[in-house]
Amino acid sequence: MENKDLLESLGNTLYRLLIDHGYAEATARPLNLIFNVIIVVTVVWLLDRLLRKLIIKAFQIFSNKTKTTYDDFLAQSKFPKYTAHIVPLILFEQLIPYIFTGYPGYAKFTLLVTDIYLIFVLVWIFRSFVRSSREYAKTKPYFKDKPIDSYAQVVMIIVWIIALLFIYSEITNESVTGFLATLGAASAVILLIFRDTILGFVASIQVSVNDMVRVGDWISMDKYGADGDVTAITLTTVKVQNFDNTITTIPTYALISDSFRNWRGMQVSGGRRIKRAIILKSGSVRFLTEDDLKKFSRIQSIAPYIKHRQDDIDAYNKANDIDKSLIVNGRNQTNLGVFRKYCDLYLQNHPAINKDLMFMTRHLAPTPQGIPLEVYAFSSDKRWENYERIMADIFEHIIAAVPYFDLELFETPSGTDVKSLKP
């Protein structure tokens, strides 16, 4: 009670002094108010500056002595600065009734503004804490590929909703429970407004629990033109940096509702798949004669195969008394079969092919253009640029080797080919 009387006396000091000097009350009261506001605001501002410097300095000293980096993130998010505002605000709020002596309406309005500002400061402090926790979690291997941004956004949305409820309560003098009851009637409208947020929140949880996408994964989503690395997973969007350095944003819930390709399985496996075919003219495929066998035996890599294979064929034809006056009778080698074996041996000897994974050369179903001969293998190096070089090296060699087996590649005639035709 004595402190209250003392504060009231101090709040009216200038008023009494002016009255004693003959000033009218209509003049003394406003001047006393202006004087009180200037004095208190100056004191509170100086106290805020002093506490800010002291808290920030103490926090720096404490941060330098600790081994954890969490306090460093707190300092970067201005946590000490916002914390320093609490004491001056509370002090100013306690002095409001004594500042606005004789002006209860001004005192009530200023108290309302101060309470609202204090709520904002508390939200900023909590936001700094959430941001620091988010950045600290990203430095940990366990959380590195988790949608931390989504969780942080959900927490801040809840905090802001609570803060707005308290601000509404301060402005209207109604209870928070009464306001929530009112919102219940408008729940359909609220769900419509926050549809994307709710869908994104549910999707981000499903993505995390099912481990569908991680930050750093390479994904392809043709519907949205996305083909690149995931850089961020937030509550409403997934950011993908494409290989042409453009950025594509995908709604988070689209990862649940639509199909996409995640290349993580390839990245963590032992190789990246090579699956490409060349098309050979069907008319260039034929049986091999003895002269052909001698010619192809000069190719070192398949010479042992040709000899072993021909010995088996000759033994079979002799045992079954096959008439070889016509080459189609019995078993025979073909230039396509020898070439296919050559491609297999080339892959087997290629240093960039992972031999622990499947590799083969196979025929696909014949087409009107010819016979597709497909190479199926896995490169040991999964980096895109090296993978493309390896695949190009393999097919450059195979394409160049085709004529040595009396085979022909199919290609659509060009204008030059048509002009070269003679009537």
The pLDDT tens digits of the residues spanning 156-204 come to 877 887 888 788 777 877 776 666 666 665 566 666 666 767 777 777 7
- pLDDT value of position 5: 52
- pLDDT value of position 278: 93
Q: What is the pLDDT of residues 43-90, one digit of tens each?
A: 878 887 888 888 777 777 776 777 767 767 777 777 777 778 888 888
Residue whose tokens read 């505002």: 85
- E strand residue ranges, 131-175: none
Class of domain 143-150+171-268: mainly beta
Residue whose tokens read 């509550």: 235
- pLDDT value of position 313: 92
- Residue 268: pLDDT over 90: no
- Give 14's pLDDT tier (boundaries 50, 70, 90): low
3-class SS of residue 95:
helix
What is the rounded distance in angstroms from the CA atom of residue 219 to the CA atom of residue 230?
A: 7
**pLDDT, averaged across the chain:** 80
Burial class (CB in 10 A: 0-12, 13-18, 19+), 343: buried
- pLDDT value of position 1: 47
What is the rounded distance in angstroms from the CA atom of residue 176 to the CA atom of residue 166?
A: 7
Q: First-to-last CA distance in the chain?
A: 121
207: number of Cβ within 10 Å: 22
Angle ∠(168,170,171) on CA atoms, nearest 5: 65
Report the candidate in 322, 339, 361, 324 with the shortest Cα–Cα distance to residue 286.
339
- SS3 helix, strand, coil % of the chain, rounded to 5? 60, 15, 25
19 contacts 28 by C-beta, under 8 angstroms: yes
Report the candidate in 203, 196, 198 with the shortest Cα–Cα distance to residue 258.
203
Burial class (CB in 10 A: 0-12, 13-18, 19+), 304: exposed
- Residue 7: pLDDT over 60: no
Which stretch of 149-153, 161-165, 386-390 has the lowest confidence by average pLDDT?
Answer: 149-153
3-class SS of residue 60:
helix
Which stretch of 36-40, 341-345, 368-372 has the lowest confidence by average pLDDT?
Answer: 36-40
Q: Can you give the pTM of this predicted structure? A: 0.51
- pLDDT value of position 109: 81
- Give 13's pLDDT tier (boundaries 50, 70, 90): low
408 Ramachandran zone, left/alpha/beta (phi>0; psi -120 to 50): beta
- Residue 128: pLDDT over 70: yes
Contacts of 85 (CB under 8 A, 6+ apart): 48, 52, 121
Give buried/exposed letters for 114-138 (b at 16+ CB in 10 A, else e): ebeebbebbbbbbbbbbbbbbbbbe
Do domains 143-150+171-268 and 272-413 share one topology? The answer is no
The CATH number for 272-413, chosen from 3.30.70.100, 3.20.20.70, 3.40.50.300, 3.40.50.1010, is 3.30.70.100
Strand order in the sheet with 218-221: 247-251, 237-242, 226-233, 218-221, 261-262
- Residue 406: pLDDT over 70: yes
Report the candidate in 333, 242, 347 with the shortest Cα–Cα distance to residue 289.
333
In the chain, what are the domain boundaries? 2-139, 143-150+171-268, 272-413
